[in-house]
Amino acid sequence: MEGRPGRILISHDEITARVTELGEAIRHDYAGRAPVLVGVLKGAVIFAADLIRTIRLPVSLDFMSVSSYGSGTRSSGVVRLSADLSTSIEGRDVIIVEDIIDTGRTISYLRRNLATRHPRSLALCVLLDKVARREVDVAVDYIGFVIPDEFVVGYGLDHDGLHRNLRHIAVFEHGRAP
Ligand code: IMP
Ligand code: MG
C-alpha cells in the first residue's frame, strides 16, 4: 500500500527526553545489578541503541527477531521467531526492549518464550503503547508514550521496511505519494 509519513506525533526532542527518563528509572530500579537488554529486531534497534546509553549501570545488549506483520499495517496475529539471542539469560535480569505494543501478541509470545529460560527477572520496556488496540493482556514495566490508534513510522518503526530512519515519530498517511 502506498503512502508516506505525515503529521509529527512525537518530535525527536520529546523522544530524547523521555528515553533519558526511562534510562534513569531503569538505573534506579536495577541499582547494584547488571541487566541485559533484549532488543526486538528490527523496530526496537534505534530505541535500544539510545536507551542503553542513558543507563549508567553495567548493562549488556542482545537481540531477538520476531515478526507478526506482513507488509501491511494490520497484525497477522501469527508470531514467528526468526533470530534468537546469542547468549544465555539464565539467572540474568532481563529487560525486553520493544518499539510498540499493538494487540500485545508479539510481546506476550516473547515474554512466555524468555520466561522458559529461567531469567532471574523479566521486565518489559516499550517506547509506544497503543492501549486501545490491546487484545492480549501484558504487564508493561516501562512505557515511553501512550499513543492513539494510528499507524506510526520513524525512530525504528517501519511501513513495508521503510521510514525507520526518521528521527521523529510520524503518523503514516495512506494514499499515493505525490
Ligand atoms: P502486536 O503483536 O500486535 O502487539 O504488534 C506489535 C508489532 O507490530 C510491533 O513490534 C511492530 O513491529 C508492529 N506494529 C504495530 N503497530 C505499528 C505501527 O503503528 N507502526 C509500525 N509497526 C507497528
Ligand atoms: Mg517490532
Q: What is the pLDDT of residues 52-80, one digit of tens each?
A: 999 999 999 999 998 765 555 555 667 88
Using the mean position of ligand 2's atoms as its centre, give its distance from the Cα of residue 114 in Å: 16
The answer to whether 109 and 102 are in contact (CB under 8 A) is no
Ligand nearest to the CA of 161: 1
Instruction: Name every protein residue with a CB atom under 6 angstroms from any ligand 1 atom.
Output: 43, 68-69, 75, 98-107, 151-153, 157
* Ligand 1 probe mutation, 65, 97, 99, 169, most atoms within 8 A of CB: 99
Rounded Cα gap, residues 51 and 49, in angstroms: 6
**How far, CA to CA in Å, does 114 sit from each of 29, 91, 160?**
20, 12, 27
Backbone angles phi, psi at 52, to 5 degrees: -60, -30
* Ligand 1 atom nearest residue 106's Cα: 2
pLDDT number for residue 5: 97
* Ligand 1 atom nearest residue 40's Cα: 10
Mean pLDDT of 141-148: 98
What DSSP character marks residue 164? Answer: T
H or E element: which one contains 131? none
The sign one gets for the Cα dihedral 167, 36, 95, 118 is positive
Query: What are 19-53's pLDDT values in tens digits?
Result: 999 999 999 999 999 999 999 999 999 999 999 99
* Ligand 1 probe mutation, 47, 81, 100, most atoms within 8 A of CB: 100
Using the mean position of ligand 1's atoms as its centre, give its distance from the Cα of residue 143 in Å: 15
Query: What are 65-124's pLDDT values in tens digits?
Result: 987 655 555 556 678 889 999 999 999 999 999 999 999 999 999 999 999 999 999 999
Those residues whose C-beta lies under 8 Å from the C-beta of residue 58, and which sit 6 or more positions away, are: 34
The answer to whether 131 and 103 are in contact (CB under 8 A) is no
The three-state (H, E, C) secondary structure of 51-104, written as one string: HHCCCCCCCEEEEEEEEEECCCCCEEEEEEEEECCCCCCCCCEEEEEEEEECCC
* Ligand 1 probe mutation, 38, 102, 129, 137, most atoms within 8 A of CB: 102
The answer to whether 51 and 70 are in contact (CB under 8 A) is no
What percent of the chain shows pLDDT beyond 90? 87
Tell me the pTM: 0.94
| Catalytically annotated residues | 102
What DSSP character marks residue 150? Answer: -
The answer to whether 121 and 114 are in contact (CB under 8 A) is no
* Ligand 1 atom nearest residue 150's Cα: 19
